[in-house]
C-alpha cells in the first residue's frame, strides 16, 4: 500500500469531514439550547437544497440571489418548526421528542419530494473540477471550498456567541430555569437556535448539493451528522468541528484499507461503529459536558 | 360499550384481577375471536391474505416493541433488524432440514440472543444515547446481513423461504397461512395481557418510571432491562419469521431496513405507548393508511379534474404519514388506544357524564 495514497485519502477525508461537521453544527446548536436531539437535520439540509433550486430554476434567479433567499426561507421554516411542533412538547419524555423529530424528518423528506420530485439535479456553484495539487497530493477543489466554509461558519458562530443575543443563548443552554428567572425569553431563544441551525443546514445544502447533486441522498447526511455531533460532544460546536475532521480521516483511511477486504461500502459501517464506540466508551464525547446520566 | 358496570360487584381478589373483569367484555372478546376465526369463510382471499394477515403479524411485532418501549421505557430504533435476524435464522434452519415448528423457536432464540446485545447498550446509557446506539446497531446489522454471503446468499440476493409445515402438514392455502398468523397474534396478545398482572410487568413499569426509585424498592433494573430486551427480541424474531413464512415467502435485507424500524415505532406511537388494543389500531392504521390515502387522492383528482405527477403520487402518502406522526404527538400523545379509552369511558356512563367512571 502506497503511503502517499493513504495520506491523500486522509487529507481529502479530513476536508469531507469538515463538511460533515456543518451538518453536525446544526444538531449541536439545537441540542445546546433545548436538549432536543434533532433527527430532522438531514431532511432540513435536503429541503434547503430544493428551496434554493426552486428559487434558481423556477423563478430564474441567479444563484447569488437564490442562496440568500433560501437562507431567509429556511430561517422562517426553522422558527416555524419550533413554534408548531416542538414548543408544545417541552417537558415531555424524550421518546416523544425523538419520535417528533423523526416525524418531521419523514414529513420534510417526503414532502419536498412530493413537491419537486425525486430525480437528482445539479446545483452548480461555479467551483471548477480541475484538481488542486498540494505538493504531490491531489485535493478535490469542492471539498477544499466546503471545508473552508465550514471553518468560516465555525468562526462566525463563535463570534456570534459573544454578541448580546449569543450570550442569551449561552445562558439558556447553561441552565434554562435560571435564564427564565432572570427574564430571558427561553422560547424566543430556542426558536432562534432552530432558525440558526436551519441557516447552517442551508449552507451545508449548497456545498453538498454542489458535490453530489440535490436529491434524497442529502437526507442521509443525518447519520454522519449525528455521529460527528455525538463524537464531539453534543453541546460543543468546536467539538463538532474536530470530530468532523477525525471521522473524515477515519472514513477516508477505512475506504482504502477496508473496502478491498469487505467488498465495498465500509463507510457506513465505520460511521455506525464510531457512533457505538463513542456512546459505549465516552458518552459525553470529546468535548461535551460530563453530566450525561449513566445508568 | 353499550353496558353499565352497575351491579358488577367483585367479592374477592381473584375476580377483581381477572383478565376481563366485566362479563360483557368477555362476551365481546369471545365474539371477536369467533369473527376472526371465521374470517376465511366470509372474507375473500384478497382481503384475507393482503390485509388481515400482515395486520395480525405486524400487530404481534408491534406488541413486542410495545413491551420494550411502552412497558420498560427503553428506546429501540433497531427493531426491524431484530425481526430480520429471526427471519433469516428461520429460513436458514428450514433450508437445512429443521422442521418449521422448531425453526421458528430457533428464530426467536437467535433474535433474543443477538437482541440482548442491544440491551447492553441500554445498560450503559439511556434516553437519547440509547436511541442513537440502537440506530447504529440497526445499520451494523443491515450491513452484516447484506454483506455476509452466508446469511443473505450474496449481495442483492433473495432467499426463497420453504413452505410452512406444521406436524408434517404443508400449509399453503390462504386460510391456513391466516390461521398461523392468527394463532401467533393471539398468543402474543395473551402474553401481553397477562404481563400486566405479573411481577415481571410491574417491575418493568417500575424501571420505566424511574430506575433509581425501582432500585431503592429492590427491583434489579439491570436484570429486568435484560429480560425485557430478550423477551421483546424473541417476539420480534418469531414475528419476523412468521412474516416471511406467511406473507413475503422470500427474504431480502431491504425488508428489515431502518425505514421498517421507524414504521414499527410509528405503529406503537400512533397506537399508544403501553396500550394493547392500541397496538392493533396502530398496526392497522400504519399498514392501511398508504393504500387508503392513494385511493383517496385518486378519488380527489378524478373529482376535481386535475392530475398529479407519478412522483407526487408516490411520495404524497409518505408525507402524510410523517404529518400523521406529528399530528398524533401534538394532539393525542397516547395515541389511538387513548382515544378508544376516552370514547369507552364516555359511553360507559352516558348520559350521566358527570359521573366519574
Q: Is B331 in the A-facing interface, judged by CB distances under 8 Å?
A: no
Reported as a pLDDT band with limits 50, 70 and 90, residue A294 is: very low
Say which residue, B20 or A81, is predicted with more confidence.
A81
Residue carrying the nine cell digits 433560501 = A70
DSSP structural state of residue A112: H
The terminus-to-terminus CA distance of chain A in angstroms comes to 44
HSE (side-chain half, CA atoms, 13 Å) at A258: 13
8 Å CB contact of A273 and B262: no
Residue carrying the nine cell digits 400512533 = B270
- For chain B, give the secondary structure using H, E and C: CCCCCCCCCCCCHHHHCCCCCCHHHHHHHHHHHHHHHCHHHHCCHHHHHHHHHHHHHHHHHHHHHHHHHHHCCCCCCCHHHHHHHHHHHHHHHHHCCCCHHHHHHHHHHHHHHHHHHHHHHHHHCCCHHHHHHHHHHHHHHHHHHHHCHHHHCCCCCCEECCCEEECCEEECCHHHHHHHHHHHHHHHHHHHHHHCCCHHHHHHHHHHHCHHHHHHCCCCHHHHHHHHHHHHHHHHHHHHHHHHHHHHCEECHHHHCHHHHHHHHHHHHHHCCCCHHHHHHHHHHHHHHHHHHHHHHHHHHHHHCCCCCHHHHHHHHHHHHHHHHHHHHHHCCCHHHHHHHHHHHHHHHCCCCCCCC
In Å, how far is B127's CA from the nearest CA of chain A?
Answer: 6
Q: Is B334 in the A-facing interface, judged by CB distances under 8 Å?
A: no
Total beta-carbon pairs less than 8 A apart between chain A and chain B? 146
8 Å CB contact of A110 and B322: yes
pLDDT value of residue B154: 67
DSSP structural state of residue A214: B
* Range in A197-201, A265-269, B213-217 the model is least confident about: A265-269
Mean per-residue pLDDT over chain A, rounded: 87
pLDDT value of residue B222: 84
* Coil/strand/helix, residue A152: helix
Interval A59-75 mean pLDDT: 91
Q: For A3-281, give the CATH class.
A: mainly alpha
Interval B294-314 mean pLDDT: 78
Q: What are the Cα distances from residue B292, in Å, to B252, B286, B295?
A: 26, 10, 5
* Coil/strand/helix, residue A121: strand
Residue carrying the nine cell digits 475506504 = A255
Reported as a pLDDT band with limits 50, 70 and 90, residue B43 is: confident
Choose from A3-12, B181-190, B195-204, B247-256 the range with maximum mean pLDDT: B181-190
Of B346, B111, A126, give the one whose Cα is nearest residue B354: B346
pLDDT value of residue A51: 93
8 Å CB contact of A106 and B132: no
Interval A197-201 mean pLDDT: 94
Q: Is B143 in the A-facing interface, judged by CB distances under 8 Å?
A: yes
pLDDT value of residue B356: 62
8 Å CB contact of B139 and A271: yes
8 Å CB contact of A294 and B125: yes
Residues B100-116: pLDDT tens digits?
Answer: 889 999 999 999 999 88
Of B293, B279, B300, give the one whose Cα is nearest residue B321: B293
Reported as a pLDDT band with limits 50, 70 and 90, residue A14 is: very high
**pTM (two decimals):** 0.88
Residue carrying the nine cell digits 402474543 = B188
- Chain A residues whose CB is inside 8 A of the B69 CB are 95
**Distance, CA of B211 to CA of B183 (rounded, Å):** 35
DSSP structural state of residue A22: H
Interval B116-133 mean pLDDT: 79
pLDDT value of residue B156: 66
8 Å CB contact of B125 and A279: yes
> Could you tell me which residues come within 8 angstroms of residue B1 by beta carbon, excluding any fewer than 6 positions away?
B343, B344, B347, B348
Of A263, A261, A269, give the one whose Cα is nearest residue A224: A269
- Chain B residues whose CB is inside 8 A of the A115 CB are 312
Residues B245-286: pLDDT tens digits?
Answer: 889 888 888 888 888 998 898 899 889 888 899 999 999 998
In Å, how far is B64's CA from the nearest CA of chain A?
Answer: 17
Q: Percentage helix, strand, coil, to 5, in chain A? A: 75, 5, 20
DSSP structural state of residue A92: S
Q: Is A268 exposed, middle or buried (0-12, 13-18, 19+ CB in 10 A)?
A: middle
In Å, how far is A138's CA from the nearest CA of chain B?
Answer: 31
C-alpha Rg value of chain A to the nearest Å: 19
DSSP structural state of residue A133: E
Reported as a pLDDT band with limits 50, 70 and 90, residue B128 is: confident
8 Å CB contact of A294 and B140: no
* Cell numbers that stand for A47 in this block: 429541503
Of A197, A230, A207, A242, give the one whose Cα is nearest residue A25: A197
Topology classification of domain B39-349:
ABC transporter involved in vitamin B12 uptake, BtuC (1.10.3470)
pLDDT at B339 > cutoff 50: yes
8 Å CB contact of B330 and A88: yes
CA nearest to B143 within chain A: A269
- Percent share of chain B, pLDDT over 90: 27
pLDDT value of residue A1: 60
| Domain edges within chain B | 39-349
pLDDT value of residue A279: 85
**Distance, CA of B307 to CA of B298 (rounded, Å):** 9
pLDDT at A136 > cutoff 90: no
Mean per-residue pLDDT over chain B, rounded: 86
Q: Which of A50, A279, A292 to mutate: most B Cβ within 10 Å? A: A279
pLDDT value of residue A295: 42
- Chain A residues whose CB is inside 8 A of the B311 CB are 113-114, 117-119
CA B127 to chain centre: 21
CA nearest to B207 within chain A: A295
Question: How many CB atoms neighbour CB B253 within 10 A?
Answer: 23
- Chain A residues whose CB is inside 8 A of the B326 CB are 85, 100, 103-104, 107
pLDDT value of residue B35: 92
pLDDT at A77 > cutoff 90: yes
- Chain A residues whose CB is inside 8 A of the B123 CB are 295
Reported as a pLDDT band with limits 50, 70 and 90, residue A290 is: low
pLDDT at B58 > cutoff 90: yes
Phi, psi of A133 (to 5 degrees): -105, 130
| Domain edges within chain A | 3-281
Q: Is B267 in the A-facing interface, judged by CB distances under 8 Å?
A: no
CA B122 to chain centre: 21
Tell me: ipTM over 0.90.
no
Amino acid at each position: 500500500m502506497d503511503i502517499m495514497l493513504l495520506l491523500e485519502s486522509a487529507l481529502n477525508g479530513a476536508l469531507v469531514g469538515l463538511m460533515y461537521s456543518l451538518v453536525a453544527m446544526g444538531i449541536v446548536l439545537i441540542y445546546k439550547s433545548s436538549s432536543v436531539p434533532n433527527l430532522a437535520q438531514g431532511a432540513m439540509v435536503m429541503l434547503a437544497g430544493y428551496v434554493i433550486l426552486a428559487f434558481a430554476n423556477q423563478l430564474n434567479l441567479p444563484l447569488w440571489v437564490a442562496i440568500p433567499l433560501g437562507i431567509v426561507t429556511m430561517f422562517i421554516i426553522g422558527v416555524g418548526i419550533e413554534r408548531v411542533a416542538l414548543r408544545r412538547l417541552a417537558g415531555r419524555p424524550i421518546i416523544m421528542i425523538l419520535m417528533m423529530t423523526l416525524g418531521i424528518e419523514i414529513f420534510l423528506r417526503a414532502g419536498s419530494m412530493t413537491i419537486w420530485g425525486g430525480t437528482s439535479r445539479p446545483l452548480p456553484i461555479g467551483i471548477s473540477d480541475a484538481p488542486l495539487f498540494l505538493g504531490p497530493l491531489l485535493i478535490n477543489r469542492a471539498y477544499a471550498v466546503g471545508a473552508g466554509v465550514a471553518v468560516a461558519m465555525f468562526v462566525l458562530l463563535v463570534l456570534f456567541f459573544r454578541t448580546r443575543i449569543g450570550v442569551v443563548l449561552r445562558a439558556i443552554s447553561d441552565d434554562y430555569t435560571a435564564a427564565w428567572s432572570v427574564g430571558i425569553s427561553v422560547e424566543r431563544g430556542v426558536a432562534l437556535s432552530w432558525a440558526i441551525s436551519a441557516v447552517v443546514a442551508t449552507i451545508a445544502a449548497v456545498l453538498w448539493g454542489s458535490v453530489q447533486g440535490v436529491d434524497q441522498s442529502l437526507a442521509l447526511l443525518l447519520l454522519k451528522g449525528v455521529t460527528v455531533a455525538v463524537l464531539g460532544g453534543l453541546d460543543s460546536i468546536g467539538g463538532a468541528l474536530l470530530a468532523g475532521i477525525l471521522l473524515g480521516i477515519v472514513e477516508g483511511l477505512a475506504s482504502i484499507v477496508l473496502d478491498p477486504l469487505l467488498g465495498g461500502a465500509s463507510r457506513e459501517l465505520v460511521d455506525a461503529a464510531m457512533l457505538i464506540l463513542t456512546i459505549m466508551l465516552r458518552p459525553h464525547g470529546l468535548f461535551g459536558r460530563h453530566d450525561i446520566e449513566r445508568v | 360499550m353499550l353496558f353499565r358496570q352497575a351491579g358488577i360487584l367483585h367479592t374477592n381478589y381473584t375476580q377483581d384481577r381477572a383478565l376481563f373483569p366485566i362479563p360483557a367484555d368477555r362476551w365481546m372478546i369471545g365474539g371477536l375471536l369467533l369473527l376472526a376465526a371465521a374470517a376465511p369463510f366470509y372474507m375473500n382471499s384478497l382481503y384475507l391474505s393482503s390485509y388481515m394477515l400482515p395486520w395480525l403479524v405486524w400487530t404481534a411485532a408491534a406488541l413486542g416493541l410495545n413491551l420494550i418501549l411502552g412497558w420498560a421505557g427503553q428506546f429501540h430504533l433497531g427493531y426491524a433488524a431484530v425481526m430480520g435476524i429471526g427471519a433469516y435464522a428461520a429460513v436458514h434452519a428450514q433450508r437445512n432440514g429443521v422442521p418449521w415448528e422448531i425453526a421458528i423457536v430457533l428464530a426467536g432464540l437467535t433474535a433474543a440472543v443477538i437482541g440482548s446485545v442491544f440491551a447492553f447498550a441500554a445498560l450503559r446509557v439511556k434516553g437519547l444515547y440509547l436511541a442513537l446506539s440502537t440506530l447504529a446497531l440497526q445499520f451494523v446489522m443491515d450491513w452484516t446481513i447484506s454483506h455476509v454471503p452466508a446469511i443473505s446468499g450474496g449481495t442483492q440476493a433473495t432467499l426463497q423461504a420453504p413452505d410452512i409445515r406444521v406436524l408434517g402438514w404443508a400449509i399453503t392455502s390462504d386460510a391456513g397461512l391466516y390461521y398461523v398468523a392468527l394463532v401467533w397474534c393471539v398468543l402474543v396478545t395473551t402474553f401481553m395481557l397477562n404481563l400486566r398482572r405479573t411481577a415481571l410487568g410491574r417491575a418493568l413499569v417500575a424501571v420505566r418510571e424511574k430506575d433509581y426509585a425501582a432500585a431503592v424498592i429492590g427491583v434489579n433494573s439491570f436484570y429486568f432491562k435484560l429480560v425485557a430486551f430478550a423477551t421483546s427480541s424473541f417476539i420480534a424474531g418469531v414475528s419476523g419469521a412468521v412474516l416471511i413464512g406467511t406473507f413475503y415467502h422470500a427474504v431480502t435485507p431491504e425488508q428489515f431496513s431502518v425505514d421498517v424500524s421507524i414504521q414499527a415505532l410509528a405503529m406503537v406511537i400512533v397506537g399508544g405507548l403501553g396500550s394493547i388494543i392500541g397496538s392493533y389500531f396502530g398496526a392497522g392504521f400504519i399498514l392501511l393508511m398508504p393504500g387508503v390515502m392513494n385511493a383517496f387522492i385518486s378519488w380527489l383528482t378524478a373529482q376535481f379534474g386535475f392530475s398529479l405527477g407519478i412522483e407526487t403520487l408516490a411520495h404524497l402518502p409518505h408525507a402524510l404519514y410523517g404529518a400523521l406522526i406529528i399530528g398524533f404527538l401534538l394532539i393525542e400523545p397516547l395515541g389511538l388506544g387513548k382515544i378508544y379509552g376516552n370514547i369507552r369511558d364516555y359511553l360507559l356512563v352516558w348520559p350521566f357524564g358527570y359521573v366519574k367512571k
